[in-house]
Amino acid sequence: EVQLVESGGGLVQSGGSLRLSCVASGFIFSSFEMNWVRQAPGKGLEWVSYISGPSRTTYYADSVKGRFTISRDNAKNSLYLQMNSLRAEDTAVYYCARDRPQVPFDFWGQGTLVTVSS
């Protein structure tokens, strides 16, 4: 059974940093592209970042470029999001989500809440 479990969320002050983790199981993690998607309270979905299986390619939303870094450790079946210079508008539930060929976000984690206080 495919499972994605996020952790690392919490309350942080504006300007601070946080590192989110997503542990995968039930599939060959290194073979799949992965993403982070967020959802501010009461708002819609926003794609944040993408990383290819071997980590050679990464992409970021303009809203986080230069502040967030996506990475993965295929030996640990883990995906990460390092978030620096956090702002109040980064407050959201952060989900990790898997891609499969030609299919986006076919599995999602349960999400982890990040709250940035100003």
Partner 1 sequence: DIQMTQSPSTLSASVGDRVTITCRASQSISKWLAWYQQKPGKAPNLLIYKASNLESGVPSRFSGSGSGTEFTLTISSLQPDDFATYYCQQYSSYSRTFGQGTKVDIK
- Which residues lie near partner 1 (CB under 8 A)? 35, 44-47, 50, 59, 61-62, 95, 102-106, 108-111
The residue among 13 and 44 lying less far from partner 1, judged by its C-beta, is 44
Amino acid 80 reads Y
Phi/psi at 58 (5° precision): -135, 150
- CB nearer to partner 1: give 27 or 108: 108
Shortest reach from residue 75's CB to partner 1, in Å: 26
- Cβ of residue 15: shortest distance to partner 1, in angstroms? 26
DSSP state of 52: -
- Distance (Å) of CA 74 to CA 85, 104, 115: 27, 20, 28
